Amino acid sequence: MALVLVCAVFLWGVGHLLKAPYSARFTMIGLLCLLVLAVQLLLPMGHPLRDMTGGSAGEWMVVVSLGLAVWAYSRGLARLREMVRPENQRAPPSSDQSTAELERNARHIVLREIGGPGQKRLKNARVLVIGAGGLGAPALQYLAAAGVGTIGVIDDDVVENSNLQRQVIHTDDRIGMPKVFSAEIAMTSQNPFVTILPYNRRLTRDVAQRLFADFDVVLDGTDDVATRYLVSETTVALGMPLVSAAISQWEGQISIFDPSRGTPCYRCIFPEAAADGLAPTCAEGGVLGPLPGVLGSMMAVETIKLIAGAGDPLLGRLMMYDALGGDVRVIGAKARKDCPTCHGVGIATGT
């Protein structure tokens, strides 16, 4: 067996000198093992060549089997790597990548209220956006541009022509594509240093807690009242901050709901859904194209402030914006003792 080992080392050395790829070297050694196995099986006992190769047919069969198993395993791993989508292949950052990311975020880093530590917190943060429509589109774009490290987005809708008047993350050539994948393309193009987690499905009660638990902050930009209440209940149960906004025609509103920090919850402010006809959808009442851009960008601003610990986020305050009259108002918001969602937790902490 020593002779065979010497031959294998010789073949490897020749391959090294010729700069042959590893696959070619392993192939030559594999052929050598198969040749030795053939000698052990075909030649009679006592044959000089069989004695020179040492061992027995059984021992060499074990060696060849192990070699084949290792080869099959390596090929299987290679096949799995080939199946991974290119945008999901995360190469370790090189020094050039680190420099590029630093330059990208330089305007944040020189801000006294964010700086290097705040930008690092943004990079380590995990943010979930509910809805990739009018409000979700600008929020997602600015979160990605700001360098938020991991951004999840959940939506079961597809891009339609009527969306493009205001949902600026989508484009005409992606009509018919699920919105979460369209948003993923845009965000990855905007900032390749962030990780995007698209969930092409409707948010339901059976998955809400498990999904939300994987994130630090939730943004709600949906236009469905039942989903809004579900999002509020889930974030309250998990003690998570909820950045919530809504728009209608020319007006919008935004606040941060987090009873664990002494604020009211969404149901404290909106205990019941509006009666039919009082809150028309965008399809029913129309909406100014830039309006969701204004409120969605504000959602990104408040999220960045929360994560970086900058300024005074809209905790316990409701901001209302009237685009037609050019008016902005901010009012205080109180928790309600009879709230079935948070049970007035914010009252106990002084709001």
Distance CA 135, CA 158 (A): 15
Look at residues 134, 151, 127 and name the one whose alpha carbon lies nearest to residue 302: 127
| Active-site hit among 7, 33, 265, 282 | 282
Tokens at residue 260, please? 């664990």
Q: Name the CA radius of gyration of the chain, rounded.
A: 30
Of all helices (H) and strands (E), which one includes residue 259? none
3-state secondary structure of 319: strand
Question: Is residue 282 annotated as a catalytic residue, yes or no?
Answer: yes
Answer for the pair 152, 144: CB distance below 8 angstroms, yes or no: no
Torsion sign, CA atoms 14, 20, 23, 24:
negative
Distance CA 180, CA 198 (A): 5
Look at residues 281, 284, 257, 286 and name the one whose alpha carbon lies nearest to residue 270: 257
Distance CA 279, CA 284 (A): 9
Q: Mapped to the 3 state alphabet, what secondary structure does 188-234 carry? A: HHHCCCCEEEEECCCCCHHHHHHHHCCCCEEEECCCCHHHHHHHHHH
Residues recognised as catalytic: 282
